[in-house]
Structure 1
Amino acid sequence: MAIDYRFKVRWGDTDPAMIVFFPNFYRWMDEATHEFFEAIGYPTLELMETEQVGVPLLESKCQFRTPLRFDDEVVVKTEVADLQNRIFKLSHRFYRGETFIAEGYTLRAWTSFAGETPKAVPIPDSIREKLAAHLEGVESI
């Protein structure tokens, strides 16, 4: 089950031809990740302040199908593509209305910032359950 992140393309997101400059897709995937965690009940700021946990980026990729332009209304649909002990992958699919624009992923590590050096740690069971409920291809009951 996907979590939707909606936004409108702004003038500063585009090049002189009013087409979105590609690095913005990576920024939006990051924003969609934070919106995803807030939607499942674990806002990023709260995780950092109360648990000293973050989800730093390990890898990211995006494939572009058709351009976005200034003033387009966009939906990024985010789902869990893979869930391991300490690492998870989120898929992000971009749409303008029914038009499929791009797809990408972000690979992240569940990381404790409690010590001197950040360290990947196991994802707690309570959060793992919430992530598993959003695995690609899993329909809610």
Structure 2
Amino acid sequence: MKNVYSIKVVFGDTDAAGIVFYPNYYRWMDQATHELVNKAYTSVSQLQKEKDIILPLVETFCQFKSPLFFEDQVEVHSQIVEMKNKVIKVEHVFKKGDNIVASGYEIRAWASQAEGAPKAVSIPQDARAALGFNE
């Protein structure tokens, strides 16, 4: 499953030098993952409300290749590249036009909070199929 999430850099995304402040890339990866899951399966808020499932981050990484500035248009190309029993790995590539400006990934648990504290649980077959991992 792949998804493209479009962003226009706003002034508040930049630092004093006018360059996008690095934590915003992680925020955008989070938003892009939510969009991807929503497009393929259901919204993250519905997962939480209806199934007591959340998708907490276990690991994240981003490599920056060139800066983004105020009013730049950028696309985050995201796809789930790996799915294990209880976790997914989502790869993100940030593109400004044809140029890759950053790339990274997130590893997220499929976690139930039905009993209070989040606990990783097996990803159900319907979610696996919707997200492109029929096994």
TM-score range, shorter chain: over 0.9
Q: What code does the residue aligned with 1:132 have?
A: G
* Equivalent residue pairs, number: 133
How far apart are residue 97 of structure 1 and its match?
1.1
Question: What is the TM-score when the length of structure 1 is the normalising length?
Answer: 0.91
2:87, 2:110 within 8 Å by CA — same for their partners in 1?
yes
**What RMSD in Å do the two structures reach over aligned CA positions?**
1.0
Residue in 1 aligned with 2:55? 55
Tell me how far apart the structure 2 counterparts of residues 28 and 116 of structure 1 sit (CA, whole Å): 28
2:8, 2:72 within 8 Å by CA — same for their partners in 1?
yes
Residue in 2 aligned with 1:35? 35
Unaligned runs of 5+ in 2: none
How far apart are residue 130 of structure 1 and its match?
1.8
2:41, 2:131 within 8 Å by CA — same for their partners in 1?
no
Q: Is 2:19 the partner of 1:19?
A: yes
1:74, 1:95 within 8 Å by CA — same for their partners in 2?
yes
Unaligned runs of 5+ in 1: 134-141
Residue in 2 aligned with 1:83? 83
Residue pairs, 1:123-138, within 5 angstroms: 123-132=123-132
Question: What is the TM-score when the length of structure 2 is the normalising length?
Answer: 0.95
Q: Is 2:65 the partner of 1:70?
A: no
How far apart are residue 81 of structure 1 and its match?
1.6
